[in-house]
Structures are given as C-alpha cells and as structure tokens.
A and B are shown apart, each in its own frame.
Chain A
Amino acid sequence: MPDTRLTDEQESLRRTVAEFAREVVAPVAARHDEDRTFPYEVVAGMAAMGLFGLPFPESYGGMGGDFFTLCLAIEELARVDSSVAITLEAGCSLGAMPIYRFGTEKQKREWLPMLCSGAALGAFGLTEPAAGSDAGGTRTTAHLDSGMWVINGSKAFITNSGTTITRLVTVTAVTGTSGDDRDADRTKEISSIVVPVPAPGFTAEPAYSKVGWHASDTHPLAFVDVRVPEANLLGERGRGYANFLAILDEGRIAISALAVGLAQACVDESVAYARTRHAFGRPIAANQAISFKIADMEARVHVARTAYYDAAARMAAGLPFKKEAAIAKLVSSEAAVTNAREATQIHGGYGFMNEYPVARHWRDSKILEIGEGTSEVQKMIIAHHLGL
C-alpha cells in the first residue's frame, strides 16, 4: 500500500481551495445552475490561483504539483458545485493532459502555457453519437491532403467545447485501416489530432439541455472539412485510441475525487439539516432511521475517499493503478448517487426544491456513473484484471 497521507503543502492547498469554494463559488452556484450559465468569473478566479496548471511543470506554465493534488482541489470544489469541479477536471485532465503526455516538445510549448494559465480551455473529443463505451467505433475520419489533416464527422457530449475561451479540441479520428476491406478483422487506425478553434468547418452545436451539471459547458460538435496542419497529430499515428484510454485511466481518479466531494457535501448538508429540522417534537436526527442513514453516508464517503487516495498515491508512486482507478470510480460514483438520494430524502419536501443544494447535488450525481466510463465499463476493467 502506498502512503496516502497528504503533505503539508497538499493540505494547505486543500484548505485554500475549500476557502475559495466557500467564498467565491458557493454564493453564485445556485444562480448559474438555475440560469444554465458558464461561470466565467469563477473560472477566472480558479485560473488566478493557478488551478488549471496544478499538475503540470513550471516550465510549461504549470504549478509543479501532481495529479493527486489536482484531485484534492477537484474534491473541494465538488463539495460546493460539481459544474465548477468538472470544468477544472475536464480542463486539466482531459484538455491539457493529452498534450502533456503525448505531445512533442514543440506542441507542449505551443499549447500548454495558455491552458495552464486558465486563460484558455481545451476539450477532449472521444465520444460520438454512435460510439461511447465502445469508443473504438469512432466514425470521424481524417485524411492528409497537401500537408493538412482534413477532418469530417461528429462528436457528442464534449465538455468545455463551446465556451468563449475554448481554444482547442483534441479529437480521435480514423486515419486509415490496416488489412483488407473484405477482411473480417480489419482494424481501424485511430489517431488523435489537435484542432485549434475556432476553425472553418468546426461547429459547437447548441448546448445540450442536461439533467444536471447545468453550469458546465457541453456540446455536440460537427466537423466538415476542417483543415489543420499535419503537425497537429498528437502522439504516434494509430495510437490515438490507446492514448486516450490511458488518459481516461487517470481521469477516473479525478472523477472519483469529484464524486467524493459531492458525496461529502450530502453528508455535511444532511447533518446540519437533521439537527435543526424538527418533526414529532424533536430533531429528525433523534430518529435512528435518520442518523443511521447519515452514518451509512459517512461510511460510503470514507471508503470512496480511501479508494481514490490509494489510486492517486499509486499513480504518484509509479505503481500500476488501472484497476484501483476503476474501483475508485465505481464505488465513489455509486456513493455519490446513493448519498444524494438519501440527502434529498432527509430534506423531505425541501430536498425537491432547487433552492436547497442537495437538490442540485441529486441532479448532478447521476452523470458520475456514466461519464468517463460507465459503471459497467469499470466492471469490465476490473474483471479483465481478474483474468475474466
């Protein structure tokens, strides 16, 4: 077991982000949720603190922290607002990380500083209307034409892809096939390509009407003869799918941190409410039906946090962490959904009212069992590690 204790610096950062969440995010969270607006002013505040550069080296404009530290920041933001937390998660671990992991020195110098500063956001376009869990089913294509990639196709549900500060979208596209067309096990060659935006032929279609994450930016994307330089190929040609899957392994730990933040918020809100809400002449917390519910919620958060700390510490120590990341994502997203359901229950009729944060947490929780690999996909990964 790797050491999961936080360093003094990680603890200081966690507290600083908690303070920021309480003072800057909390006062506007309900309004952005209600109005479905992207919280540019909050993102600017996060940028000023350097959060978007947290896990990247200072030489690329980063803060010199690590992925574990990023997860701590995401957890604290999600305790107040999941939309803000996913904006950071997607910006860092999906937008900038592929460039940091797979980019050439030139690509890193070109794109990382603006992403690390938070002045620009990058998006990650893997999912397509007809290819989600089975992302290898990508239909978007890219072919070379006089030194330019020409991209055609569409992507679905892409986070941070249509803000006024979105500056690039990294996409997976079929760049060729190996084997014969008539061959049954003919395999597609999938590569990833950086598309700086805006670009002629690129459209972020109108934002989805979502159940939750109202202040997070999610769009369908259309690519019609979008031309980008050949040098925008990210990583080796044909390694696009594999590289994206590697990014998702890390991303799962971050999503797990986000889920833990939400699950913790549900505990915090429930404790406060159950103490002060009276029914039948006493606080509802005086009923074990309520206090045991909250005890179970607390136990779920603890287990989930321990799981993501372990996966993050393994990653930091250079140990294998794929299975642990999948387990952390699975248990923490389920903890978030269950805790959100229980917290709304404890709030009675008020739990169904948007003015109570638990109502928002409830709507924001379900996506956690779906995004960055569904719970079923996590089980596929875990089972695969068991040789099944």
Chain B
Amino acid sequence: MNIVVTVKQVPDTWAEKKLDPTTRTTDRKSVDNVMNEMDEYGVEEALKIKEAHGGEVTVVTMGPEKALETVRKALSMGADKAVHITDEALAGSDALQTSAALAKVIATLSPDIVITAAEASDARGGVLGALLAEHLGFPQLTQARKVTVDPGAGTVRIERQADNGYLLVEAATPVVVGVVEKINQPRYPSFKGIMAAKKKPLTTLSVADAGLDPGTVGLANAASTVLDAQPAPPRQSGTIVKDEGDGGTRVADFLAAQKLI
C-alpha cells in the first residue's frame, strides 16, 4: 500500500487564536504552532494500514518553513518520508489553491490511499479532502471512523460516521479517505522515533519545483477574499440568581428565555 497522508501545522489549539489585522489570515507568528490535532489521527491510521498490509507512508504538507516541525513529528511517529511544499509566494493561499498544489504533488507519488483529516482546527473549512479528490479524480470516503483495506480486491471500506449510526461505504483504490477523531488513538513518538525522523528522506519543493504556475498561487490570486474580520466579543459574565425562595422559577424562566426548555 502506498499511503499519502496530509498534515497541517496550526496554531496550538490551547492558545488564543488571532487574525493578522492587515492580511486577515491566521496569525501564525504570535503563538506556538503544532500539528493539527485531527491530522495525528490521519497519520496514526496510515501507520496502522502500513503495519497491517505493508507499504510506505509519505507525509505531505504545504506551509511555511516552520511547518517542518509538524513534518518531523509525523516522521517521528513512524511515517517513512515527507514532502514539504514551501515558498514565500504561497503565503495566503486559500483552500482551493492549497488543494491544487497538494494534488499536483500527491499525483506524482502515485498513492493507493490518500488520508486527510475531516478538518483543521484553525480555519475549520473541512473541504480539503473533497477538493483533493476532485483534483486527483479519486473517489472519496469521508467521516471515516473505521477503515478496512482489502489489498487483494483493491478496495477500501469505511464506517462513515452519521448522526444516528454509521454507513458502510466502499470504493476502489486509489481513494481519498477523510478520518474523524473516533477512528483511533494516535501514538506518542518515542525517542527512537524522534532520532530516526532526522534521517528520513525529506523533499522540499518550491512553487517552481512543484511545477505550479506562479500566477495562480498566494494571497493575490486567491479565489476567496476575507472582506472583514472582527474579534469574537468577550464572553459575557453569567447571571447570578440569588435564591430568595423563587430560585427554581427564576432559573426555569432564564432557561425558557434562552429557548433551552
């Protein structure tokens, strides 16, 4: 199995997130950056498939130089090699541009399975998997909470998470699979894994190396523009209800006013 897994570096989910006021894109400089948490599940699933059926896991990311830390983390978890698309010209690319760039590079890797997370915790667009599948011309299996691979038949079957149960969906490889957090428990890299990561093959591609048209990438050529952005309003302090005999009624009134009961 030749497995490609996409990963993204995002601002630490535990940190307060901000938008850059001039570009209105995510401010990635003022906070700690980490691997998108859901991508860890993607990497884990790729490793599990490899452990069960053999093959190779390639991590692909597009992002600034610092995103190398995230690539290293995936390698230290056990991925075999990585491709990092990085170029000043790519800054500010939207989901459409990012998926086009990733697809171009992923196509050259001839994967059987491309694994993506259902969404990244920063922009929460949740569209990358679908866009990739479209660009690559692969079927896509989304919201997977369980993946079963049949290498002989060349098929991948998933349990697709639904509100009131799950759907069994199957597609022939090559296929794009989007995973949700229920799927597994990502491993923590061991020190041996961390040491080994440094020696694993890493390909760094610029816009030119990846064969991308410079006239299509970056903020200036994005299909979508953020017109305005406002910080979230500070959270209102709660209402304190003093019980003067009518506490129950007043709590009920409050809940009713919020249309909760």
Contact = CB atoms under 8 A, between A and B. Distances in A.
B173 to A, nearest CB: 30
A13 interface: yes
Contacts of A69: 191
Contacts of B194: 9, 12-13, 16
A270 B179 CA distance: 39
A49 interface: yes
B192 interface: yes
A9 B193 CA distance: 10
B116 to A, nearest CB: 22
A64 B187 contact: no
Given A9-B198, A12-B76, A48 B188 contact: yes
Most buried by B among A20, A50, A64: A50
A16 B198 contact: no
B190 A64 contact: no
Given A9-B198, A12-B76, A20 B188 contact: yes
A48 B192 CA distance: 12
A49 B195 contact: no
B72 interface: yes
A19 B188 contact: yes
A13 B188 CA distance: 10
A48 B191 contact: no
A279 B102 CA distance: 54
A286 to B, nearest CB: 19
Contacts of B191: 9, 13, 50, 54, 63-65, 69
B192 A12 contact: no
B167 to A, nearest CB: 30
Nearest to B14: A22
B139 interface: no
The A interface is mostly helix, strand or loop, or mixed, namely helix
Contacts of B73: 12
Interface in B49-76: 72-73, 76
Interface string A46-87: 001110001000100001110001000000000000000000
B189 interface: yes
A50 B190 CA distance: 6
Nearest to A49: B188
A300 to B, nearest CB: 25
Most buried by A among B72, B189, B191: B191
Interface string A1-34: 0000000110011001001100000000000000
Contacts of B198: 8-9
A45 B187 CA distance: 9
B192 A16 contact: no
Interface string B196-212: 00100000000000000
Given A12-B72, A12-B76, A64 B188 contact: no
Nearest to A58: B192
A205 to B, nearest CB: 35
A44 to B, nearest CB: 12
B76 A50 contact: no
Contacts of B188: 16, 19-20, 45, 48-49
Contacts of A64: 191-192, 195
A309 B189 CA distance: 24
A23 B104 CA distance: 36
A13 B192 CA distance: 10
B72 A50 contact: no
A19 B40 CA distance: 13
Contacts of A50: 190-192
B32 to A, nearest CB: 9
Nearest to B76: A12
B102 to A, nearest CB: 25
A12 B194 CA distance: 7
B189 A12 contact: yes
A368 to B, nearest CB: 25
A293 B29 CA distance: 32
Contact of B190 (A8, A19, A49): A49
A119 to B, nearest CB: 15
Contacts of B192: 50, 58, 63-64
A304 B192 CA distance: 28
Contacts of A9: 191, 194-195, 198
Interface of B: 72-73, 76, 187-192, 194-195, 198
The 3 lowest CB-CB distance pairs between A and B, nearest first, are A50-B190, A63-B191, A49-B188
Given A19-B188, A49-B190, A64-B192, 11 more contacts: A9-B194, A12-B73, A16-B76, A20-B188, A48-B187, A48-B188, A49-B189, A50-B190, A54-B191, A63-B191, A65-B191
21 contacts: A8-B198, A9-B191, A9-B198, A12-B72, A12-B189, A13-B191, A16-B188, A20-B188, A45-B188, A48-B188, A48-B190, A49-B188, A49-B189, A49-B190, A50-B191, A50-B192, A54-B191, A63-B195, A64-B195, A65-B191, A65-B195
